[in-house]
């Protein structure tokens, strides 16, 4: 059966990709958006792009709004033609505004206003220059600048492992051009009016930050990788991250690598543009990077009512990875222990089991997996490991649950009584009908299930720094989760979130053990 990987990765180009005729065929398809952009900007953006009658397309004040509009129309067009919306979005410098637009941080009109102000501030700057350099890493480039007393220059764009852009005063850029060319490096001036993405843009950054205080940004519905940090944007930090981009380096190579560690290059698609970003991705992909260690074992946390045998079929599909169930009290091999319905006590118990294994096996890499209630508890175990200074997993795989900051849909299940309780569980698909023929077993499982659902009812999420652990989220296509429910997991990790959707209802995992095993091992299903 097919597995849905989501919409992959969308790349939005920035300044430098403008060309007369860009957007041809798009403006007539989206007349309302084009008219709205014209009202905000005060000129005909379609005429600027298609005809450029006044030669303004290379003027930063006009270039950036034009590219933003064309990028937006191109993305809408791709989705309207059947491309799925991307799950991960990256934009190069200006293109980051299109990534945020696609992620729902703001609407199109707001985006045009933001870009218009950004371009006005950047276009007003004078006295600087930029220089593209090919053939040296950032480290080697910085060494050469230091050796030649050119520390007045900043590495503004880190585009690929061997292609970077310097930014700074004109005289120093001219001197660097001669010195670097003499070193056998390829150099080329960039057509700009100022030292963009450098310390010399600090006043523009401060003015833009003040401008951004007049806007409110919505929670992101997709993962957006920030140029300034090469990490996912965090809700509540959109304004500060955008302003930091003005005088900070565009860490494009690092941003792409962060995604390539989780998704293959064939999942990337460039929106609009001229293929420049796609070529960069290919160059970045070939750079040597440390491999992600394969886990030697996976600690599993069962769903409500589950025990150490719940994931036994999963273990049969794991290759060279030991499955280590974290058993909750009152079931399985811990049948005689009292049931625990307090979330904090349960997390402490589960973490203690991991701690004992870590003492025995040292620094061997491991993964953590949980389904439904087990997903929330697995996440909390990872947090507790961090709090105790213990090793972190190489990955956390969760299934059948929304992000932990979103209240569980089952938080009130423990309060259902009698037949209503069992009818609800049968609807979830987790309890076989024949169990109701055995009153003694029903009585036992009801105690276990009520304890577990009480944990969900008492579960409280507390905001903390995100984990430095990659999170993979897997759901069934018959589950009632919204995009917001699932993207909430992005708030809990500094790595790009990866999502998969399998055919099936809440217990889809029972038909997809092999695919889950591949995800835990670090492979694609």
Report pLDDT digits (tens) over 95-131: 999 999 999 999 999 999 999 999 999 999 988 999 9
More confident call, 331 vs 426? 331
In a domain, residue 3? The reply is: no
Mean pLDDT computed over 188-212 = 94
116 phi/psi in degrees, rounded to 5:
-60, -45
pLDDT of residue 431 exceeding 90, the answer is no
What range defines the domain where residue 258 resides? 9-123+199-285
Mean pLDDT computed over 388-395 = 96
Q: Read off the pLDDT of residues 285-335 as tens digits, 9 standing for 90 and up.
A: 998 777 888 999 999 999 988 899 999 999 999 999 999 999 999 998 999
Q: pLDDT band at residue 279, thresholds of 50, 70 and 90?
A: very high
Q: What's the rounded Cα separation, in Å, for the pair 173 and 224? A: 32
Examine the domain organization and report whether 172 and 264 are in the same domain.
no
pLDDT on residue 161: 95
pLDDT on residue 1: 38
Mean pLDDT computed over 446-450 = 83
The CATH number for 136's domain is 3.30.70.250
Which residues share a beta bridge with 272? none
* CB 66, CB 14: distance < 8 Å: no
Element (H, E) at 207: helix 202-212
In a domain, residue 156? The reply is: yes
Examine the domain organization and report whether 167 and 281 are in the same domain.
no
Lowest mean pLDDT among 276-280, 285-289, 464-468, 493-497: 285-289
Using a cut of 0.85, tell me whether the model's pTM lies above it: yes
* CB 399, CB 371: distance < 8 Å: yes
pLDDT of residue 269 exceeding 80, the answer is yes
In a domain, residue 52? The reply is: yes
Q: What's the rounded Cα separation, in Å, for the pair 305 and 453? A: 9
Mean pLDDT computed over 340-357 = 96
Lowest mean pLDDT among 128-142, 221-235, 299-313, 421-435: 421-435
H helices then E strands: how many in the chain? 18, 14
Mean pLDDT computed over 331-340 = 93
- Measured at the CA of 253, the angle between CA 244 and CA 126, to 5 degrees, comes to 45
- Measured at the CA of 155, the angle between CA 150 and CA 156, to 5 degrees, comes to 130
Examine the domain organization and report whether 418 and 380 are in the same domain.
yes
Q: pLDDT band at residue 408, thresholds of 50, 70 and 90?
A: confident
> What percent of the chain shows pLDDT beyond 90?
83
**Domain end call among 220, 255, 285:** 285
Examine the domain organization and report whether 391 and 508 are in the same domain.
yes
pLDDT on residue 316: 96
In a domain, residue 2? The reply is: no
Give catalytic residues, as residue numbers: 93, 197
Structural domain total, the chain: 3
In a domain, residue 461? The reply is: yes
In a domain, residue 427? The reply is: yes
pLDDT on residue 424: 75
Q: pLDDT band at residue 7, thresholds of 50, 70 and 90?
A: confident
In a domain, residue 160? The reply is: yes
The CATH number for 29's domain is 3.40.366.10
pLDDT of residue 439 exceeding 70, the answer is no
Examine the domain organization and report whether 474 and 350 are in the same domain.
yes
């Amino acid at each position: 059966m097919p597995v849905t990987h989501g919409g992959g990765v969308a790349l939005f180009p920035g300044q430098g990709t403008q060309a007369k005729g860009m957007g041809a065929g798009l403006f007539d398809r989206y007349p309302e958006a084009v008219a709205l952009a014209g009202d905000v900007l005060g000129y005909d953006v379609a005429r600027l792009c298609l005809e450029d009658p006044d030669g303004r397309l290379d003027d930063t004040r006009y270039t950036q709004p034009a590219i933003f509009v064309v990028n937006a129309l191109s993305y809408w067009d791709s989705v309207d033609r059947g491309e799925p919306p991307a799950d991960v979005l990256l934009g190069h410098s200006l293109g980051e505004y299109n990534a945020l637009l696609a992620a729902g941080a703001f609407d199109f009109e707001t985006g045009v206003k933001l870009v218009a102000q950004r371009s006005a501030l950047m276009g007003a700057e004078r006295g600087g220059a930029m220089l593209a350099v090919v053939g040296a890493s950032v480290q080697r480039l910085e060494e050469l600048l230091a050796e030649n007393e050119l520390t007045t220059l900043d590495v503004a764009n880190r585009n690929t492992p061997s292609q970077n852009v310097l930014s700074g005063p004109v005289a120093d850029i001219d001197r660097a051009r001669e010195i670097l060319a003499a070193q056998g490096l390829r150099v080329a001036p960039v057509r700009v009016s100022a030292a963009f993405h450098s310390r010399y843009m600090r006043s523009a950054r401060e003015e833009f930050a003040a401008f951004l205080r007049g806007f409110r940004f919505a929670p992101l519905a997709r993962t957006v990788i920030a140029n300034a940090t090469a990490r996912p944007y965090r809700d509540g930090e959109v304004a500060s991250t955008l302003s930091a981009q003005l005088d900070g380096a565009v860490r494009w190579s690092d941003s792409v690598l962060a995604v390539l560690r989780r998704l293959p290059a064939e999942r990337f698609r460039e929106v609009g543009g001229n293929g420049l970003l796609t070529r960069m991705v290919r160059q970045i992909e070939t750079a040597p990077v440390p491999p992600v260690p394969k886990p030697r074992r996976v600690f599993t946390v069962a769903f409500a009512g589950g025990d150490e045998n719940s994931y036994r079929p999963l273990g049969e599909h794991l290759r060279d990875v030991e499955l280590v169930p974290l058993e909750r009290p009152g079931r399985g091999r811990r049948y005689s222990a009292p049931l625990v319905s307090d979330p904090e006590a349960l997390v402490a118990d589960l973490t203690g089991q991991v701690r004992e294994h870590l003492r025995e096996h040292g620094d061997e890499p491991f993964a953590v997996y949980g389904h439904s209630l087990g997903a929330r508890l697995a996440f909390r175990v990872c947090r507790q490991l961090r709090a105790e200074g213990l090793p972190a997993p190489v990955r956390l795989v969760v299934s059948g649950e929304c992000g932990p900051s979103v209240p569980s849909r089952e938080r009130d299940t423990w309060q259902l009584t009698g037949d209503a309780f069992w009818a609800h569980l049968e609807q979830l698909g987790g309890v076989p009908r024949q169990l109701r023929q055995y009153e003694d077993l029903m009585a036992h499982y009801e105690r276990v299930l009520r304890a577990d659902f009480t944990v969900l009812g008492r579960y409280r999420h507390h905001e903390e720094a995100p984990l430095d652990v990659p999170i993979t989220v897997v759901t069934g296509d018959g589950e009632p989760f919204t995009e917001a429910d699932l993207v909430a997991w992005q708030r809990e990790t500094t790595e790009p979130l990866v999502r998969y959707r399998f055919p099936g209802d809440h217990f889809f995992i029972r038909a997809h053990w092999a695919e889950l095993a591949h995800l835990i091992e670090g492979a694609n299903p």
